[in-house]
Homo-oligomer: A and B are copies of this chain.
């Protein structure tokens, strides 16, 4: 990390985090100011670069400002399993940083920027400001809910349903992060990476996507662009029920 891709910004860089944490309940002005005032360093990170490596001692928590990242584990045979995908506004390693030793790696899926916040500062604000702490805790619980859905997705759904489910989850989360429309979005990952996220091989992912396309559930002008013609049909094909994302009942996304 050279000086050239490191910047000190104050205030506004952390706005996406505040927006995310306030989703379930507004903060007081003081809480908001404390969050925005957290010390942090903004870094530009290239595609493929690691934010955290397994077994690292984590000293910082990272907030995604732009771009996409994945958490993943490597099993003994060398295969990779992506266990989560993160986008703008999400804290990517509360998990690792509070537990001390990373049990998985976090890697960029595209180029992007992150804000690095010292670990102790996160702990301090969480317990000094109960509303903030509660919002962070709830956020980690929603992460947990998504993990559980992924276990069910990978364990008990066939390839077609699995991929359709992931495409649906992505659609809602992208929209939620202000990065796409329910009509479609650009997938920030290769078919091999999709396979790593769903427990399939890239070849089978390809066949499955083409089959979804043949059946008119999605359209693609280029390999990565996903256009969802009929949301309801795709959701049905993907056995998708958004409940596990724990979005607010009044969220227009769920209309």
Q: Using a CB–CB distance below 8 Å, which chain A residues touch chain B?
A: 55, 71, 73, 75-77, 79-81, 83-84, 94-95, 98-101, 103-104, 123, 126-127, 130, 133-134, 137-138, 140-145, 147-152, 154-157, 161, 198-199, 239, 243-244, 246
Tell me the dominant secondary structure on chain A's binding face: helix
Q: CB within 8 A of A147: which of B75, B76, B130, B151?
A: B151
Q: Are A75 and B133 in contact (CB under 8 A)?
A: no
Q: Are B137 and A75 in contact (CB under 8 A)?
A: no
Q: Whole-angstrom distance between the alpha carbons of A80 and B143 in the complex? A: 21
Q: Are A98 and B138 in contact (CB under 8 A)?
A: yes
In the complex, chain B residues whose CB is within 8 Å of the CB of A145:
95, 99, 103
Distance to closest chain B CB from A43 (angstroms): 24
Q: Are A155 and B154 in contact (CB under 8 A)?
A: yes
Q: Whole-angstrom distance between the alpha carbons of A172 and B127 in the complex? A: 32
